[in-house]
Amino acid sequence: MDIVLLIVGLVLILLGADWLVDGSASIARKLGISELVIGLTIVAIGTSAPEMVVSLLSAIDGSADMSVGNVLGSNIANTLLVLGTVSVITPIALTKGNIKRDVPIMFLATLLFIFLCSDIALRAANINSISRFDGIIFLICFGLFLFSSFKYSNNFEEEEVKNIKDLPAARSILYIIFGIIALLGGGNLFVNSAKDIAIKLGASESFIGITILAFGTSLPELVTSVIAAIKQKGQMALGTIVGSNIFNLLFILGTTSVITPLRLQGITNIDLGVLLLSAILITTSSFIFGKNRISRTNGIIFLLVYIAYFIWLIINL
């Protein structure tokens, strides 16, 4: 029954995110807001809505390890599993925007996250945590990233923006209302079922967050990116993944830790190391070994690292 409720919760989360994006984008268009602004805000936020809802509800429920594990595991899965799969299907060429802004910002955001939550190693604290002050730093950095995206983005994927549905105003409002209800209801089901499964398996909350929750909330990126790769549009997949990773670290963890400080107990140095390794791999693959592209060989390396990490998690369950 817990597994059934987990799946039902995930379906509601994914449906709720779609309804919320469709309704909000349609209203924004009717209000005369530019499609670039809609794409860089509403569409981008909607893609990461599952991670945001699950992480926030987990933190409020007192499960900080599950909250952070969801974000950490989602970023690892996005880079190693999703991007690895996509680049095996079709090598991904990087644009100037990716090289000069997106990938470096993702790398710096990863370093910032590791630095701020490594209290035991760097500041001789008793426990690793993400404080409200850390959260404010994350949100300020996210604001700067959003500003640079508005100011310098000349390569935003028009196909994402042009797919905005033109809905009647009443239907748009209903989409927004039901989207929020589905996100919150599905999020509660998903988180509570995952916690029950963890208890019955004897697994830690961090393990559940990094594996089950992370994979479930990364499904939108996985599906969108694989479809883009099959259509030979790997660049769209790269933009989705890199943008989602930045959003997860800076906005989701920033918002969550401002609402409730996060004390981490089950997130290990191995988990943080794999997150850093994933950021290093995409950076070096892009700029050094890949000659401004992520090749099939790079993709295979990504997948092998993800498989090795997943095996390590199972062994240490």
Q: What is the pLDDT of residues 202-261, one digit of tens each?
A: 778 788 888 888 877 777 777 767 776 776 666 666 777 888 889 889 999 999 999 888
Question: 141 falls in which pLDDT band (50, 70, 90)?
Answer: very high
221/208 Cα distance (integer angstroms): 19
Give the mean pLDDT of 274-289.
83
Above 60 in pLDDT, residue 96? yes
143/209 Cα distance (integer angstroms): 27
Above 70 in pLDDT, residue 53? yes
Q: How many CB atoms lie within 10 A of CB 151?
A: 7
Which residues lie closer than 8 Å to 233 by C-beta, 6 or more apart?
159
- Measured CA angle at 214 (ends 15, 258), to 5 deg: 90
71/54 Cα distance (integer angstroms): 9
Task: Tell me what pLDDT residue 132 has.
Answer: 92
**pLDDT > 90 fraction of the chain, expressed in percent and rounded:** 19
- In this predicted structure, which of 25-39, 114-128, 181-195 has the lowest mean pLDDT? 25-39
Above 50 in pLDDT, residue 159? no
Higher pLDDT, 68 or 218: 68
8 A C-beta contact, residue 242 and residue 78: no
Helix, strand, coil distribution of the chain in percent, nearest 5: 80, 5, 15
Above 60 in pLDDT, residue 160? no
Higher pLDDT, 313 or 24: 313
Model confidence over 27-45: pLDDT tens digits?
877 777 665 556 556 666 6
Above 80 in pLDDT, residue 124? no
Average pLDDT over the chain, rounded to whole? 80
CATH topology of domain 2-315: A middle domain of Talin 1 (1.20.1420)
Task: Tell me what pLDDT residue 90 has.
Answer: 83
Task: Tell me what pLDDT residue 122 has.
Answer: 79
First to last CA, the chain: 22
